[in-house]
Structure 1
Amino acid sequence: MLFFWLFYLIFFLFQVKSCEFPQFKYGCLYYEEILRPNFPVSIGNKYSYKCDNGFSPPSGLFWDYLRCTVQGWEPEVPCVRKCVFHYVENGESAYWEKIYVQGQSLKVQCYNGYSLQNGQDTMTCTENGWSPPPKCIRIKIECSVPILDRKLVVSPRKEKYRVGDLLEFSCRSGHRVGPDSVQCYHFGWSPSFPTCKGQVASCAQPPEIPNGEINGAKRVEYSHGEVVGYDCKPRFLLKGPNKIQCVDGMWTTLPVCVEEERTCGDIPELEHGSVKFSVPPYHHGDSVEFTCAETFTMIGLGSVSCLSGKWTQLPKCVATDQLEKCRVLKSTDIEAIKPKRNEFQHNSTMYYKCRDKQEYEHSICINGKWNPEPNCTSKWKTSCPPPPQIPNTLVIETTVKYLDGEKLSVLCQDNYLTQDPEEMMCKDGRWQSLPHCIDSRGKCGPPPPIDNGDITSLSLPEYEPFSSVDYQCQKYYLLKGKKTITCRNGKWSEPPTCLHACIIPENIMEARKIILKRRHTENIYSHSGEDIEFECKYGYHKARGSPPFRTKCISGTINYPTCE
């Protein structure tokens, strides 16, 4: 009976679940106009596809298969941008060309006095190419020497300060009002310099924010320098500083919780595991729980979360009898280990004592790896000065320091748009990969019409900057160029064209005594620009003066060879 129900469930899934005709950017199915009437198709079907110039399947191959699965079409993004790196203006270049794919990043070494756009040092391959572009531009060689409160102690004191330099402050007497450090950027010092004050005021309760809440319990009064954190409610994304500080009776800039419209797709499958019942759609902040099969053990977090349209990393289900043991690391810095063993089972705890320290540290064995890694060196994390006030962003007045690895998202002012990346990161004691707010450079009218094709959505009288629309060609026409155009600076990018396809009639081949050399399909059909190869029918040979057997379909026309 169990077998019957299992068979019925599989049969039901394969019958009910199906895939509609795939619409994806920067590529197409081979022979998609012929295949289109066959859709929707059932799970298990696969179709070969190719990508436009400058794009490739995630596998990196020239072509690949698009598969219909329970979760939909895979790969989810069939065509990703290929970015070539070889030369960067005013910077160190590679010895040979190297290919990067969408999402990969590259650190660039600019010459002294130069920097990538907006003071960044890393380029990322995006859907639209390198961001920022591979060009190092001349920057301010330095920040001006600041005029400061006489009560401030400044370190280090220099005659010149260069971009990236830090200044640290303390007061000779009284209380510091403002940050304890600032950084030199290509747009100047940020944040504002502190002052010293004899008496400082305390703060009342921190304010409420729409769609957000304060971490921990509230108090009636907060002392100068105290820090309070905020979180956003599910479906909302925090922009600005997630921590505020009491500074002389006033709270620093509050964060903003903005609605995150992006949702996550189907829950990813976990091998040897299952997900607890959950109903889509999955909004930002939603989580789902996983469990492993009876004879398997979970490695990693038992839940995954939807964050800005993407699921966090899945755990793994490892066969319990195959879990690896952890060996004790041999280190001269470790003085004692409890319990005394050479190896430890999964999920067991090791206590160790470092030389010149009284207290014991501990690590847990997780499938052959210690968590955290036993370490007797200093665990002090570097911190960054308070985040900078980036030009054209909403004001951030904060004195809070951030630890290495922490990130901060910003909001652009009205009529400005965020250019990648959307957040900056504290790394090695400095803020890096600063966002860039650009003028939103006007709206666009309706997208331009093309012969033998049209856009896939309803045309609007007006489009916001950076809006996109897709084109498709009529039956038996081939789309040439990018099928997606984007509104920039009040103008649409160049639209594609629709080329005539070639249909090879049987009567023409019969009259010329030729056949197709390699016939993969019953349909005698070829896209414009595609190679076609003929050969003579049995008993015939190439006629004198005949065109070559290997030819091309050129916008609906074929130069046929002849046999006699």
Structure 2
Amino acid sequence: MFLTVLLSLFTSALICRAAPTLENERCGKPGEKEGATLQGNWNAETYSPGTVATFTCVNGYIREGPIRMACIEGSWLDISRGQCKNIVCYKETVINGIVQYTKETYRDGETVTLTCNEGYQIEHNPEEPRTCTAHGWSPPLKCVSKKCIQPNLPNGYIRDPYRFPISPEAYYNYIYYYCDPGFLSPDRKYYGTTTCTKTGWNPEPKCYKKCAVPTSDSMYAIISYTTRSRIYIEGDKLRFQCYKDHMTSNGQISGEIECLPDGKFFGEKCSKIGQACGEPPVVQFGDITEIKQNSYRSGSSVTYKCANYYKLEGKEFITCRDGEWEKEPVCRGSCVLQQTVMALNNIYYDKSTEIENGLTIQFECMEGMVSENDLRATCGNTQINYPKCSAGRSCPPPKISNAILSPEKQDGYESGSSVDIKCEDIFVLSGHINVKCENGQWDELPQCLKPCTIIPNSLERNHIELLPSESAPDILEHGTELNVKCKANFKRPGSVIASCYDGVMKYPKCFSGGTCRILQSYLDENFLELDESHDNEVFYEEGETVSFKCKTGYRNRNGLTGTCTKSNRQPAEYILTYPYCEEESAV
């Protein structure tokens, strides 16, 4: 009734707008509304009858329904009763992850930090904090299983056409790799296998340098070989026993040598006691500071120095001990990044062009490109293996009903580009307002949720009616709640609210008699869930039958329905019977 009168007055005001306006029929500036601000210019002192004021929400608030007022007979009256509500985000439990919450609720723009358990990674933009928005946490609080990217394999290669990244749950979750000549896998073969697990590739795919095996005569010692094949790779060790009248430089008659990445065994060697040494070892990109001699007495030393732009690793000086020089140092050079090579590989590194020897850096793909392999690379004595990026597959225009795309392209979007999503009027966005194309795949697309209309037959069927003070618009946006009341001689426990959800009005139901309530604890005890046909209704009237279903992994022998019945006790109670589900293995 109120809405009819209000619209009648508003219509009359519009019809009469051309007639002379009495001063007492004009309105001043519209009043303020919580969390809202007026749209347009409102600098005049008074406004004529029929003027409509539209409000929009300020930051930190979200609009629920249109908010409009009209000037009618000197007063501003609501012609639609939308409102601006505080944007609030609540704590969520994250499967396989932990959120560092500091309070119970968060306002618009506030952030939290998400950490995923071992073997899991943050879905969507892991480097960004999770922010409270009008549509919930964005990006979402979600951890997903890690996938294995193509491994970086120095001194080796992957020949077969695998499709990376590979999931640990995939049926074929392993790969074969092959080593360059002179290198072997941990199994001492020219190839190796590795499996994708939640913690990465296991075992780590790697190609080790094969070492030339020394002979006993070259060592002046008896060597204890550990394998019949006498195939050794870096990290392997061999024990030896010096010949008679020989010992190592540190006075031992036995010792151990180790296979190093340069393909040579290193360690103390046996020599005849007091024997002189020949010329000191040659060091690439370095030399000794003294005048070189043909022979050096046991106990004498020489000092090494590297060329410019090279750095000495190891002992600066070495000593001749009983015919053997100590291990010479190495001169390592830094890597200078080549801009032309990076451009050809569609990568860049913007921190420095000179990389210290042994340092691992992370390259980045150029805009719109995706990596073909691991973007990390290590400088090894002036050499670095550049990763490669290539143009990713483009994405077709995202198909979102009732959405407006910006920019809108009919021929698709390049990999790396993004598009803003906005819903048409009266539709409500659910999800991210911006999505990105990555190698032919869009991020999770949002939805434009549909509005609802009130159906009189549905009100009648559920024994409810609108409140006299509630003005129901013809169209309700998704998420709008509408206060209703039970008809005469009907009742319902708790609040009586109808709501719009994606084009479907959800109506509460009122009852003429006693009611039973679904209890979650009883559902859990009996391993039950409510059947979808009941649309999560929690109240049922006397004599009504309720349908259930068993939880996953359980089944029932005797039927999945219950009935709301009245007990014989005084005062009367209403009891709902619950069926029972057993584990499938027990049935």
Both structures adopt the same fold (TM-score exceeding 0.5): no
> Please, what TM-score do these two structures have when normalized by structure 1?
0.28
The structure with the largest alpha-carbon Rg is: 2
Q: Which has the higher contact order (CA 8 A, sep 6+)?
A: 1
